[in-house]
Amino acid sequence: MPITEKPVLQVKHLTVRYGKGCPLCGEHLEKNRCTVCGTVWAANDISLEVYPGEVLGIVGESGSGKSTMMQSLYFDLQPTSGEAFLSDYHEGTKNIWDASAAEKRTIKNCIMGMVYQNPVMGLRMEYSAASNIAEKLIAAGNREAGAMTERAKELLSAVEILTSRMGEAPKHFSGGMQQRVQISKALANNPAILLLDEVTTGLDLSVQAKVLDLIRRIKAEYGISILLVSHDHAVIRMLADRTIVMLDGKIIESGLTDQILEDPQQAYTQQLVHSLL
C-alpha cells in the first residue's frame, strides 16, 4: 500500500528578493545579502510540500525567511519568482501567485487561514469578536445573519472564548484571547490549510498551553494541515510531524521532527538544537 496522498500545498522554488540582483548574486552572498549589488534574498529557492492532516514545523533564527514565506503564501507580499499549488485551487494545477485578485481573495477566505504573531495584523481590533468572524463568513458569500451568529458562537466556544463576550472588541481582550479569536477567525470557512506564524510567542505559559491544546485539537478533530513557524522547539516537538530548518532565506535541512531535534545533520541545526536551555 504505497502512500498516494497528494500534497495540500506544494511550494516550488519560492524566491523573494529585495533589489535588482546581479549575475554574481548567487556566488557572493554574505548571509542573505549580495556583497556586490546589495540585493537581499529574503527567501531563496524554497520548495516544500504539506500533506493532508499534517503539521509541518518551520524553525530558524530571526531573519531566516520564515515569515517571508508565510506572508508570500498569504499574498501579503508578491514573490520575485516561484510557484505554489493548492489541491483545493484548480486541483493543484494552477500557480496561486498567478491568480486574479478575486481568486486570491477566495483563497485567503476559504482555502487558507493565517494567524499572525501580532494579532493586530489578523484582527480588526475595534470590531467585535463576532464581527471579525462574520467578516470572513461574508467574504465567503454568507449573508444570513442568524447562521453567521451561530457559526461565530460555535467557533468562539471551540477556542474557549465565552460567547457572552462575542460582542466585545478584541482590543479589550488579553493577548491569549486575541490569539484565540484570531485562530477562530482563521477557521471560519473550514480552510484546508492553516498558516501559524509564532502564535505562542509572548504568551504566558498557561495561555500558551491553551493555544497549543487548541492547535492539537484543530489537527485531530478538523484534520486541517498546518504550517507552523515557531522559535520554541518544545512547541515544534509537541505538534509538528515533520520539520524544516531555515537559514539565510534557504531551507538547509528537513526531516522527521524528532530526527531534526535529536540527530541534526547540519552545523547550523546542531548549533540551534544545542542552544536550548
- What are 16's three cell numbers? 523573494
The one segment of 13-21, 63-71, 88-96, 261-269 that binds other proteins by CB under 8 A: 261-269
- What are 77's three cell numbers? 507580499
CA–CA dist 158, 117 (Å, integer): 20
Selected binder of other proteins within 102, 145, 146, 274 (CB under 8 A): 274
Selected binder of other proteins within 1, 101, 102, 276 (CB under 8 A): 1
Per-residue binding string, other proteins, 37-76, x by CB under 8 A, is --------------x--x----------------------
Considering the complex, state which of residue 44 and residue 208 has its C-beta at the smaller distance from other proteins: 208
**Residue 140 near residue 189, CB atoms below 8 Å:** yes
- What are 113's three cell numbers? 487561514
**Residue 276 binds other proteins, judged by CB under 8 A:** no
Minimum distance of other proteins from residue 165's CB (angstroms): 21
**Residue 98 binds other proteins, judged by CB under 8 A:** no
Which residue(s) pair with 243 in the sheet? 57, 255
**Residue 241 near residue 55, CB atoms below 8 Å:** yes
Site for other proteins in 233-252 (CB under 8 A): 237-238, 241-242
Minimum distance of other proteins from residue 221's CB (angstroms): 8
Minimum distance of other proteins from residue 238's CB (angstroms): 6
Burial class (CB in 10 A: 0-12, 13-18, 19+), 36: middle
First and final C-alpha spacing in the chain: 42
Considering the complex, state which of residue 2 and residue 23 has its C-beta at the smaller distance from other proteins: 2
CA–CA dist 109, 111 (Å, integer): 6
Per-residue binding string, other proteins, 129-158, x by CB under 8 A, is ------------------------------
The one segment of 34-42, 89-97, 113-121, 204-212 that binds other proteins by CB under 8 A: 204-212
The backbone torsions φ and ψ at residue 137, rounded to the nearest 5 degrees and listed phi first, read: -65, -40
∠ CA(69), CA(239), CA(8), 5° rounding?
50
The one segment of 87-95, 114-122, 189-197, 217-225 that binds other proteins by CB under 8 A: 217-225
Burial pattern 65-89, b for ≥16 Cβ within 10 A else e, equals bbbbbbbbbbbeeebbebbbbbbbb
Selected binder of other proteins within 35, 137, 212, 244 (CB under 8 A): 212
Minimum distance of other proteins from residue 198's CB (angstroms): 18
Whose cell is 512547541? That residue is: 235
Q: Hey, is 249 helix, strand or coil? A: coil
254-257 contact pairs (CB < 8 A, 24+) = 254/48, 257/57
* Residues of this chain that bind other proteins (CB under 8 A): 1-3, 5, 51, 54, 208-210, 212-213, 216, 219-221, 237-238, 241-242, 255-256, 258-259, 262-263, 265-267, 270-271, 274
